[in-house]
Amino acid sequence: MPPIIYLDNQATTRVDPRVVEAMLPVFDRSYANAGSVTHELGLAASDLVEESAESIATCLNARRSEIVFTSGATESNNLAIRGVCLRKRTSGHIITVETEHKAVLDPIAKLEKQGFRVTRLKVVPNGSDDAGLINLDELKNAIAEDTILVSVMVAHNEIGVIQPIREIADLCHECGVLLHTDATQAVGHLPVDVDELGVDLMSFSAHKFYGPKGIGGLYVRRTDRRVRLASQIDGGGQQENRRSGTLNVPGIVGMAAALNLCHAEIQEGTEDGRRRELRDRMYAGLKSRVGDLPLNGPSLTPPGLRLANNLNCQFPNIDGQSIMSGASEIAISSGSACTSADPEPSHVLAALKLSDDEIQSSLRISVGRFTTLDEIDSAVDLLVRSVESMRQYGADECLDS
Ligand SMILES: Cc1ncc(COP(=O)(O)O)c(C=O)c1O
């Protein structure tokens, strides 16, 4: 099989070899249960967990006691939303956004069936520079006496839009409402400081920032306000009863190593620009040879509006799935890979008011740490070849009929 050009970094990232290196000795030597504090090996595993937790907390400007380890962002979102809403309550009001990930929308929809009231905010439709952003006045008007929780993600997995989380947090706190944010696409990519963002709960997942799959975390605020959760997984009482289950020590060590590398990269300040350059080169290269490719989501500039790694655009009148089939040497996505088991058109693009045809013609391309300039140029060639053959095929079809 020829090497694949991997441009699906928002679905998941390749584990950085330095992260693998940090994890290997844990499988080999520190394999004991971190809860087995009756022997040296268990204590050593527990020490590794504590060191890693401290390091993760430092990268996020959080306290160690505010970090709960989970299996990934899906679980973190469920724990945050269900944990807050179901603690000593059976009803109340939740506010979220139509374009959130299913790992936020689905637990909220389930709570709605159980008696909670839900407001799903709309976003600015496509075609505007700030497409995908929520309207803060709408949020303010939606907050009511019985509002318990607002859940808005930092940065979007399909369209890359970055929401003004600090302003959202201020609005929530003026009204005594908690703010959860799904920061799965932001942690490791943008500077994320829980105090600067002002969030109360924040989900993240290692496999989105060059760490292993199956490990993530939930930040739960304890300073200024103490957020309490109803546990969602009960058993051995690990993690102060907030999430039972034997800790995934290699995963935790890997997540800490991965986040440290990203943190250093963010502080260095060059990687974001490099990714932006690759992404913009891809878009410009495609447009110059294919023609107009309407952008889905906010404008690519100024930088603060959209993630540097994300491109999502339409290939008018061509089926995105067919373009991908004709360019099988490239790994890209027609929407959110996490919902690819779901044949429905992307709910995110639908919320941007794209037609079904426009949604079908859309592709998401996401660059990452290991993407090279040569790969971008080759990917442009391969995609252009695929589009041209689709156009040719379409023309032949017309001629035949
Ligand atoms: C914004 C967002 N939230 C949640 C998830 C789910 O994360 P995990 O795969 O760690 O469960 C994803 C994965 O694509 C995501 O992009």
338 lines ligand 1 (CB under 6 A): yes
Dihedral, 279, 20, 64, 263 alpha carbons, nearest 10: -30
Looking at residue 342, its pLDDT comes to 58
Q: How far apart are CA 115 and CA 102, in angstroms?
A: 20
172 is catalytic: no
Distances (CA, A) of 340 to 76, 140, 233: 21, 34, 27
Take residue 392 and report the two structure tokens written for it: 């040719």
CA-nearest residue for atom 11, ligand 1, is: 74
Q: In CATH, what number is assigned to the domain containing residue 247?
A: 3.40.640.10
Looking at residue 335, its pLDDT comes to 55
How many secondary structure helices (H) and strands (E) does the chain include? 13, 11
Structural contact between residues 101 and 184, judged by C-beta atoms closer than 8 angstroms: yes
Shared domain for 108 and 256, answered yes or no, is yes
Looking at residue 393, its pLDDT comes to 79
Shared domain for 124 and 205, answered yes or no, is yes
Look at strands 330-331 and 5-6 and give their pairing.
parallel
Shared domain for 179 and 328, answered yes or no, is no
Q: Which of 119, 176, 128, 193 is nearest to 151 (CA)?
A: 119
Structural contact between residues 314 and 293, judged by C-beta atoms closer than 8 angstroms: yes
Structural contact between residues 114 and 90, judged by C-beta atoms closer than 8 angstroms: yes
Looking at residue 337, its pLDDT comes to 44
Q: Is the pTM of this model over 0.85?
A: yes
Shared domain for 239 and 329, answered yes or no, is no
Shared domain for 79 and 91, answered yes or no, is yes
Domain of residue 315: give its range.
5-13+269-400
Listed residues 208, 242, 264: the one ending a domain: 264
| CA of residue 390 to ligand 1 center, whole Å | 32
Shared domain for 247 and 285, answered yes or no, is no
Looking at residue 400, its pLDDT comes to 39
Q: How far apart are CA 8 and CA 334, in angstroms?
A: 10
Listed residues 264, 298, 318: the one ending a domain: 264
Quick one: how far is CA 79 from the chain centroid? 16
Shared domain for 47 and 188, answered yes or no, is yes
Per-residue pLDDT of the chain (401 residues; tens, 9 = 90+): 678 999 999 999 999 999 999 999 999 999 999 999 999 999 999 999 999 999 999 999 999 999 999 999 999 999 999 999 999 899 999 999 999 999 999 999 999 999 999 999 999 999 999 999 999 999 999 999 999 999 999 999 999 999 999 999 999 999 999 999 999 999 999 999 999 999 999 999 999 999 999 999 999 999 888 999 999 999 999 999 999 999 999 999 999 999 999 999 999 999 999 999 999 999 999 999 999 999 999 999 998 999 999 999 999 999 999 999 999 999 999 854 444 555 678 999 999 999 999 999 999 999 999 999 999 999 999 999 999 999 987 744 434 33
Q: How far apart are CA 208 and CA 258, in angstroms?
A: 10
Helix ranges, 114-149 (H): 136-142
Listed residues 244, 264, 284: the one ending a domain: 264
Shared domain for 310 and 379, answered yes or no, is yes
Shared domain for 177 and 290, answered yes or no, is no
23 lines ligand 1 (CB under 6 A): no
Shared domain for 246 and 277, answered yes or no, is no
Looking at residue 398, its pLDDT comes to 36
Q: In CATH, what number is assigned to the domain containing residue 366?
A: 3.90.1150.10
Structural contact between residues 23 and 212, judged by C-beta atoms closer than 8 angstroms: yes
Shared domain for 149 and 182, answered yes or no, is yes
Shared domain for 86 and 172, answered yes or no, is yes
101 lines ligand 1 (CB under 6 A): yes
The domain total for the chain is 2
